[in-house]
Amino acid sequence: MAEIQFREAIRQAMVEEMRRDESIFLMGEEVAEYHGAYKVSQGMLAEFGSKRVIDTPISENGFSGLGIGAAMNGLRPIIEFMTFNFSFVAFDQIINNAAKIRYMSGGQFRVPIVFRGPNGAAGQLGATHNTSTESIFATLPGLKVVSPSNPDDAKGLLKTAIRDDNPVLFLESEVMYGMKGDVSEDEDYLIPIGKARMAREGEDVTIVAHGRSYWVALKVADRLSADGYSAEVIDPRTIRPLDIESIVASIKKTNRCVIIDESTPFAGISAEITYQIQELAFDYLDAPIARITAKDTPAPYAKNLMEYYMPGEDDAYEACRRVMYL
Amino acid sequence: MAIPVEMPKMSDTMEEGVVVAWMAEEGQEVAAGDIIAQVETDKATMDLEVYDDGVLLKRVVEEGDAVPIGGLIAVLGSKGEDISDLLARYAGSSGDGAAATKPAKDQDGSVAEALVSEPEPENKQASATAPPEELVTQTGRVKSSPLARKLADDHGIDLAAVPGTGPEGRIIKRDIEARMGESLVGKGARKDEARRLRVATLSTGRPSSVEGGYESVGISQMRKTVARRLAESKFGSPHFYLTADLAMERAVAARKQINEITEAQGLARISFNDLITKACAHALREHRWINASYLEQEGEVRLHNDIHVAVAVAVDDGLITPVIRHADEKGLSEIASETRALAERARAKELQPEEYSGSTFTTSNLGMFGIDEFTAIINPPNACILAIGTIRDVPVVEEGEVIAGKRMKITLSCDHRIVDGATGARFLATVRKYIEDPLTLLL
């Protein structure tokens, strides 16, 4: 184990995989000469050359389609979006081609492609650059959606995503790129997609939180602990396929659940998780499931409003106490 | 369009409900959520809400009428609407309707609760028309968390009898656990509770208490039941009281002697209360009109063949009357051990309905609190209840000499509808004979 940054963990995953498989290449805006807008691909052009680390024009629909075509013909592209807000430009390619070609061709074509980049809010970026895209992509059969919360998970999950024969949306966070953590140095460090991580065991309430929200959950768990209660924190890590079994197992123990999610609430990930819990663990619930999400509006720009907009620690803490009837 | 209001299934064991009071008049406009009547089930009296807006066109049944589940209670609709078709449909379907018949789910389950030993319903036939499922769940609704419902089901707890402490009275896990009693609550839960209390103390600096003049406490189902049944009994049946002062010297001596034997044989110790239970049971054999029920609705007096003596037991949030069945056929030691076991189970809230229902006579003893004498309220549908005071050391006159004696006052409350003064007095004389001279119990 070595302590490295989140961005380095992602780079290690890409570099290690590109060394072991020549069909893998990285493509996106500023990924080569500029080393990536967030320096994730630092040094990769020098090692792999311009045929495998490719700068593109500002044309997401174009280079996404290019990647999908390459994947259909045997290569394994990694497409970097400077931010997932720009993936909206490439919706037709992602939704109608990447997600559906394998199905429509009766399995004759596979699409082993990874779309990765920062997702969700990152401070004062305004309404159009703060979108959490999890539920937008996760609603589509044919796509896998991964959202790691720490460097180690990021490396293990990205390596698995690259080796996966299906399109994977790999959602990072701009504000987490500098986060440090111990990361495995095993070259075959693969964390299975679809397995949640039990981050902290507890008895009184289950908090489900992925990505950046996971860190909010840990703080809430600390505060509850000071009150004399133990929260179980579960990081799903993968949005789709969702490891609902782990969540349900936890709720059978705690009988209550709070979901923290930076997406907007309507038809968001929290809504799906809530549905599945009530379907599978109805008889184990002692309180309605609570969710703390972004407010149901476009993101504001002003700093104070942005703070209000995002799912906050205080709200999550109160929600936990509420479902515990305190 | 006319809307039928049917008898909902308000509890698992309910087969029929009695419309005890109408809360709305014919011709009155009602809105969804309004309470139009109160319905008494085998468990409790509940409000009957309507789920539609409209005019109450007809009250199909009278107050006091029993209606099977799915039976027609009232008709809603718009003013002046012709409802004869609907009425005919219900009238017609009550006879046959095999397909529509909802089978009586739990024939033996029609049980009474504390102080509610209602007579068996004459007609246990299930209703002719099955209510739509959603109506059942809507009207029989007790607010409770899914987990609480499951726990209640697992442990045979009637949700209707559990006070909810969650938001808007929702019954939650801790309410069921409280109901299950300490004996069933796991170690973890106790720790949890202690921690919760500690936390409550920490966060406010002192135990949460009231600022002002009173503390508001919700009325528990048990309190409601006690209140309703006893008010019904006290105001519905004219009570009169007969007190006798019994000489206890022989009983005290006999008990001492008996307990030397029970001790030697490892049997349950006999209390005075057990002796009294036994004496009453024997006396009841000779006084059938005391071992009886006045059933106004059924239009009859029932002289019970069996003698089941209930013994009032104080529990945390009320009282309950476990029953010693066939007490006249049981020996003192058996009565003693059974009473002890039932009282313990009562305090642990583990009593099953069949253990506290079906009594034919009840005793209540406050002697252990030093009460000389008191009057008890009859436990319906019993005809009488015996209130037992403490044994007092008193000077008594015997053959012109004042000597130290032991006396105990017992007071019989009688329902004058079936028991007259002389009847009660004769019964009390027999009880006196047995207690003052316990050897006569052997005859």
ipTM of the complex: 0.72
**Domain annotation covers residue A191:** no
Residues A242/A303, Cβ–Cβ less than 8 Å: no
- pLDDT of B1 reads 75
- B165 to chain A: which residues are within 8 Å by CB? 325
Segment 307-326 of chain A within 8 Å of chain B by CB: 325-326
Chain B: nearest CA to A67, how far in angstroms?
Answer: 49
- pLDDT of B42 reads 67
Residues B360/B284, Cβ–Cβ less than 8 Å: yes
**Domain annotation covers residue A259:** yes
Please write the tens of the pLDDT for every residue from B235-268.
Answer: 889 999 999 999 999 999 999 999 999 999 988 8
Q: Does residue A217 share a domain with residue A134?
A: no
**A210 an active-site residue?**
no
Which chain B residue shows the shortest CA-CA distance from A252? B147
Q: Does residue A29 share a domain with residue A84?
A: yes
- pLDDT of B93 reads 56
For residue B412, report the phi and psi dihedrals to the nearest 5 degrees.
Answer: -95, 120
Amino acid letter, residue A100: K
Tell me, what DSSP letter sits at residue B171?
Answer: B
Q: Is the predicted pLDDT of residue B94 greater than 90, yes or no?
A: no
Q: Does residue A268 share a domain with residue A156?
A: no
Indicate which CATH number applies to the domain containing A6: 3.40.50.970
Q: Which residues of B124-161 are buried (b: 16+ CB within 10 A; e: fewer)?
A: eebbbbbbeeebbeebbebebbbbbbbbbeeeebbbbb
Which chain B residue shows the shortest CA-CA distance from A325? B166
Contact of B173 with chain A, judged by CB distance below 8 Å, is answered with yes
Chain A: nearest CA to B167, how far in angstroms?
Answer: 8
- B174 to chain A: which residues are within 8 Å by CB? 325
B172, A283: Cβ pair inside 8 Å? no
Write down all domains in chain B, each with its CATH number in brackets.
Answer: 3-131 (2.40.50.100), 146-162+164-218 (no CATH), 226-442 (3.30.559.10)
A282, B146: Cβ pair inside 8 Å? yes
Q: Is the predicted pLDDT of residue B112 greater than 60, yes or no?
A: no
Q: What is the 3-state secondary structure (H, E, C) of B79-123?
A: CCCCCHHHHHHHHHHCCCCCCCCCCCCCHHHCCCCCCCCCCCCCC
A283, B147: Cβ pair inside 8 Å? yes
Residues with pLDDT less than 70, chain A: none
Chain B: nearest CA to A258, how far in angstroms?
Answer: 16
Instruction: State how far the Cα of A274 lies from the Cα of A261, in Å rounded to an integer.
Output: 12
Chain B: nearest CA to A278, how far in angstroms?
Answer: 10
Instruction: State how far the Cα of B84 lies from the Cα of A173, in Å rounded to an integer.
Output: 70
Q: Does residue A134 share a domain with residue A15?
A: yes
**Domain annotation covers residue A168:** yes
B147, A228: Cβ pair inside 8 Å? no
The Cα-based distances of A112 to A71, A101, A102, B370 in angstroms read 6, 11, 10, 87
Q: Is the predicted pLDDT of residue B108 greater than 90, yes or no?
A: no
Which chain A residue shows the shortest CA-CA distance from B174? A286
Contact of A140 with chain B, judged by CB distance below 8 Å, is answered with no
Instruction: State how far the Cα of A51 lies from the Cα of A40, in Å rounded to an integer.
Output: 18
β-strand partners of B388: B365, B410
A283, B165: Cβ pair inside 8 Å? no
Q: Does residue A212 share a domain with residue A163?
A: no
- pLDDT of B64 reads 84
Of A183, A213, A245, the residue at which a domain comes to its end is A183
A285, B149: Cβ pair inside 8 Å? no
Q: Is the predicted pLDDT of residue B430 greater than 60, yes or no?
A: yes
Instruction: State how far the Cα of B14 lies from the Cα of B248, in Å rounded to an integer.
Output: 46
Question: Looking at A8, A17, A29, A60, which residue is catalytic?
Answer: A60
Domain carrying residue A269: 197-323
**Domain annotation covers residue A20:** yes
- Which residues have a Cβ under 8 Å from the Cβ of A165 and sit 6 or more positions away? A110, A111, A112
Q: Is the predicted pLDDT of residue B116 greater than 80, yes or no?
A: no
B35-44, B268-277, B292-301: which range is least confident on average?
A: B35-44
* Count of structural domains within chain A: 2
**Domain annotation covers residue A192:** no
A172-186, B126-140, B334-348, B418-432: which range is least confident on average?
A: B126-140
**Domain annotation covers residue A188:** no
- Which residues have a Cβ under 8 Å from the Cβ of A181 and sit 6 or more positions away? A3, A4, A6, A9, A150, A151, A152
Q: What is the mean pLDDT of chain B?
A: 81
A286, B148: Cβ pair inside 8 Å? yes
Burial of residue B397 (CB within 10 Å: 0-12, 13-18, 19+) is exposed
B146, A283: Cβ pair inside 8 Å? yes
Indicate which CATH number applies to the domain containing A234: 3.40.50.920
**Where are the extended beta strands (E) located within B296-431?**
300-303, 309-311, 313-315, 318-320, 323-324, 361-365, 384-398, 401-415
- A257 to chain B: which residues are within 8 Å by CB? none
Cis peptide before B381 (omega within 30 of 0): yes
Grade residue B193 by pLDDT with cuts at 50, 70 and 90: low
Q: Does residue A40 share a domain with residue A114?
A: yes
- pLDDT of B43 reads 63
Residues B285/B305, Cβ–Cβ less than 8 Å: no
Out of B147, B188, B198, closest to residue A255 by CB: B147
B282 C-beta neighbours (distance < 10 Å), count? 19
Q: Does residue A202 share a domain with residue A67?
A: no
Share of chain B above pLDDT 70, in %: 80
Q: Does residue A14 share a domain with residue A99?
A: yes
Out of A227, A284, A325, closest to residue B172 by CB: A325
Please write the tens of the pLDDT for every residue from A91-130.
Answer: 999 999 999 999 999 999 999 999 999 999 998 999 999 9
The Cα-based distances of A125 to A309, B290, B439 in angstroms read 13, 87, 97
For residue A232, report the phi and psi dihedrals to the nearest 5 degrees.
Answer: -95, 125
Of A183, A207, A222, the residue at which a domain comes to its end is A183
Q: Does residue A178 share a domain with residue A215?
A: no
Q: Does residue A161 share a domain with residue A12?
A: yes
Q: What is the mean pLDDT of residues B152-164?
A: 85
Three-state secondary structure call for residue B242: strand
* A199-203, B173-177, B223-227 — most confident range: A199-203
Q: Does residue A104 share a domain with residue A244?
A: no
Contact of B166 with chain A, judged by CB distance below 8 Å, is answered with yes
β-strand partners of B3: B76
Q: Is the predicted pLDDT of residue B188 greater than 90, yes or no?
A: no
Please write the tens of the pLDDT for every residue from B409-426.
Answer: 999 999 999 999 999 999
Of A158, A183, A208, the residue at which a domain comes to its end is A183
**Domain annotation covers residue A235:** yes
- pLDDT of B130 reads 37
- pLDDT of B221 reads 72
B148, A325: Cβ pair inside 8 Å? no
Q: Is the predicted pLDDT of residue B199 greater than 70, yes or no?
A: no
Q: Is the predicted pLDDT of residue B115 greater than 70, yes or no?
A: no
Q: Count of CB contacts below 8 A, A vs B?
A: 40
- pLDDT of B140 reads 57
User: Which of A229, A286, A318, A322 is the mutation pick for testing B, counting most B CBs within 10 A?
Assistant: A286
Q: Does residue A203 share a domain with residue A179?
A: no
* Whole-prediction pTM: 0.52
Q: Where are the alpha helices (DSSP H) in A2-126?
A: 6-20, 44-48, 60-72, 91, 101-104
A283, B149: Cβ pair inside 8 Å? yes
Q: Which long-range contacts (CB under 8 A, 24 or more apart) does B116-119 make?
A: B116/B42, B116/B225, B116/B229, B116/B357, B116/B380, B117/B310, B117/B357, B117/B358, B117/B359, B117/B379, B117/B380, B117/B381, B117/B382, B118/B42, B118/B380, B118/B381, B119/B293, B119/B295, B119/B298, B119/B302, B119/B381
Out of A203, A255, A326, closest to residue B173 by CB: A255
Cis peptide before B207 (omega within 30 of 0): no
**Domain annotation covers residue A189:** no
- A203 to chain B: which residues are within 8 Å by CB? 188
Q: Which is more confidently placed, B260 or B219? A: B260
